[in-house]
Chains A and B, each alone.
Chain A
Amino acid sequence: GEDVEQSLFLSVREGDSSVINCTYTDSSSTYLYWYKQEPGAGLQLLTYIFSNMDMKQDQRLTVLLNKKDKHLSLRIADTQTGDSAIYFCAERPYHGSSNTGKLIFGQGTTLQVKP
C-alpha cells in the first residue's frame, strides 16, 4: 500500500538545526519531495530527491534518503523564525503505464522556531 508517516510537531531554537523525519511504505517510489506550507497558503516545493540518490544538498537544506529503511529526512541548518511552517513529505509512486504522477502526502510536521 501507499502510506507516508511523519511526526506531527518539532520545536527548535533560532540558529539550531531542524531535522524532520518521514517514513514511507511504497518501494516503487520514484521521487520523494519536501513541501512547505505557511498558514492559509498553498504548498511550496522546497526540494526533491530521486529514489536512486542518498543525499541532496541545497543551501540550508539537506535531504537524506535511506531507501532500504524507506526513511527520508529534511535537515534545515541555521533555522530561522521564517522557517516556521508545516512541512510535508510526499512520495510519487510508480505504477507503470498507469502512472499518473499523483503524490501521496504525509500528515505534515509543524515546525515551531523560537527566538
Chain B
Amino acid sequence: GAVVSQHPSWVICKSGTSVKIECRSLDFQATTMFWYRQFPKQSLMLMATSNEGSKATYEQGVEKDKFLINHASLTLSTLTVTSAHPEDSSFYICSAREGSYNEQFFGPGTRLTVL
C-alpha cells in the first residue's frame, strides 16, 4: 500500500521559535495533502488542504500566517509552525491523496512540544 512519512516524529522547541514538519509520499504522487491537528484524547481537526503548486486552503479559525504550508512538489508538503507557543503543542498528522482517488493515506504523525 501507499506510504506516507513524516519528519520529525517528535520535536521539542522553545517558545518563540519556528518548527518545520515534513510530509512525504514515498511511492505515489500526492496531488493533494491534508494537515490535521489532534489534541490528547480528541479527534483530528483538519487545518488545511494543499494542492501541489497552489496556495493552501485553510479551515475556518486556522491562522495561515501562523501555520505556513508549502506543497512545492508532488511528494513533499511542509507545515511550519511560526513563533511557536505552548498552546501549539499537539500531534500533527498529514495525509496524502493521489489524484481523485478515494483513499487518503496518513502519515505516522509528529508530536510537537513547545516549552
What residues of chain A have their CB less than 8 Å away from a CB belonging to chain B? Answer: 31, 35, 40-45, 48, 88, 100-108
Is B83 interfacial (CB 8 A cutoff)? no
What residues of chain B have their CB less than 8 Å away from a CB belonging to chain A? Answer: 4, 6, 32, 34, 41-46, 49, 57, 93, 95, 97, 100, 102-109, 111
**Overall SS of chain B's interface:** strand
* In the complex, chain A residues whose CB is within 8 Å of the CB of B46: 102-104
Chain B CB count within 10 A is highest, among A42, A44, A106, for: A42
State in angstroms the CA–CA spacing of A54 and B47 once bound together: 31
* Other contacts beyond A40-B111, A42-B6, A101-B32: 16, CB < 8 A: A40-B109, A41-B109, A42-B4, A42-B107, A42-B109, A43-B95, A45-B103, A100-B57, A101-B97, A101-B104, A102-B46, A103-B46, A105-B43, A106-B43, A108-B42, A108-B43
CB nearest to A44 among chain B residues = B106
Pick from A44, A100, A107: contact of B42, CB under 8 Å: A107
Q: List 19 A-B contacts (CB under 8 A).
A: A31-B102, A40-B111, A41-B109, A42-B93, A42-B106, A43-B44, A43-B93, A43-B95, A45-B106, A48-B103, A101-B97, A102-B34, A103-B34, A105-B44, A105-B45, A106-B43, A108-B41, A108-B42, A108-B43
